[in-house]
Amino acid sequence: MGCTMNPPRLNSNGVCRITVLDAKALSTSGRVQFVDIRDEASYQSCHIENAIHLDEHSLPHFLAGSDRAIPLIVYCQHGIASVDAAYYLAQQGYETVYSLEGGIENWQKW
């Protein structure tokens, strides 16, 4: 898994963490996909613009049809569950996967 942050902010399992400010800067490039792993009701109540909702039902379709070269920024509510999800996606061959520090709760503060 690639981590393009300099210096890299790696979690203990090698997942690259990204701050809200860095995620917003990266998103301006247009070549990044936000992945929301919260439950459907939470996603429907609010989510990052253009984020896809990923759950056990949509995961197989996502894995089969998504471009593994596009960087992913995975987020949850507080930035804890997204670490494991990001690790899983990296193990599935995605080249660059980030976990959003503080989750959407932190995103909304900025």
Rounded Cα–Cα distance for residues 110 and 107 (Å): 6
Q: Are 110 and 24 in contact (CB under 8 A)?
A: yes
- Taken in order 9, 83, 2, 42, the sign of the CA dihedral is negative
Residues with Cβ within 8 Å of 24's Cβ and at least 6 positions away in sequence, in order, are 110
What the block records as the tokens of 71 is 């960087």
Catalytic residue check, 76 = yes
Active-site residue, from 3, 16, 46, 76: 76
What residues are annotated to the active site?
Answer: 76
